[in-house]
Amino acid sequence: MNLERYSQLVLTAALETIADQRVSLMVLAEISEAGLSLEPFLCRAMQVADAILDLIPDADGDDGQLSFNF
Amino acid sequence: MIDVTKPLETMDGKPVTYVGTLTDGRILVEVTYGDLNLYSLGRHKALETRRADGRKGTGWQTSGDDLRNKVVERVIYRNVYADGTVGETGHATEQAARERSKYGKVRIGLLKQTFHNGKLVNAILTSGMPWFRDRANPQGRTANAEDFARK
């Protein structure tokens, strides 16, 4: 897996965490299938999610304040 | 009460200039009519009054000619880094954010925040090619696995 894809998945996981408080199996499977460790991946994603929530406290609401553009 | 010390416009977006307040509390304003996109075509200004709350009518009805404080939109861009941090600086343009990512960090995305009158109304997270800058290479380059592993 290249770093661009890995970065995309980190951001995807972060946004999934913000929206649903969980990371989808598809994302986790892609990381696992690439032979990468889940722990550092999830750690990065959680940190990104926390940093975004610090800036946008209502991002986990249903007002659509935060969207994806991948 | 509408705040006449801040920029005004009508509800349907016509430009409004505050002129003064009458002794009975009504507001005197200059409203610009006509298509602003067509060069002066049908464009004219009219001196009109509004109630203190900005409404044109006296009843409960609302109108496109009611006043509101003009929506001041501000957009900023922040870098999102691989170490899970988001840049403290809000850059005015996407390009400025890209060119000024923090030394020693890998940028993995950009967070675009839109504010209306200082209130956050929208945020978009965009991913991109991981990018790394440092003192030796202020222009930056595509990040590699070693950059990613930095703390």
Read off the pTM. Answer: 0.74
Decide if B109 and A56 are in contact by the 8 Å CB cutoff: no
| Contacts A–B by Cβ distance under 8 A | 80
pLDDT in tens, B98-148: 999 999 999 999 999 999 888 888 889 998 899 999 999 999 999 998 888
Reduced to 3 states, what is the DSSP secondary structure of residue A9? helix
**What's the mean per-residue pLDDT of chain A?**
84
Q: Which of A1, A3, A66 to mutate to test the interface with B (most CBs of B within 10 A)?
A: A3
Q: Which whole-number Å values give the CA distances from B123 to A53, A55, B67, B91, B116, in the listed order?
A: 11, 10, 28, 14, 12
- The ipTM, to two decimals, is 0.81
Give burial (CB, 10 Å; 0-12/13-18/19+) of B120: middle
Query: Domain-by-domain residue ranges, chain A?
Result: 3-58
Calculate how close chain A gets to B51, using CA atoms only, in Å. 33
The mean per-residue pLDDT over the stretch A46-62 comes to: 79
Calculate how close chain A gets to B76, using CA atoms only, in Å. 12
Contact B66, B54 (CB under 8 A): yes
Alpha-carbon gap, residue B3 to B28, rounded angstroms: 13
Decide if B125 and A67 are in contact by the 8 Å CB cutoff: yes
Tell me which residues of chain B have a C-beta less than 8 Å from any C-beta of chain A: 78, 80, 82-86, 108-109, 111, 113, 120-130, 142-145, 148
B73-89 burial string, b = 16+ CB within 10 Å, else e? eeebbbbbbbbbbbbee
pLDDT in tens, B82-97: 998 999 999 999 999 9
Contact B73, B52 (CB under 8 A): no
Q: Which residues of A touch B144 (CB under 8 A)?
A: 3
Contact B91, B78 (CB under 8 A): yes
Alpha-carbon gap, residue B32 to B150, rounded angstroms: 57
**How wide is the angle at C-alpha B52 spanned by C-alphas B49 and B56, nearest 5°?**
45
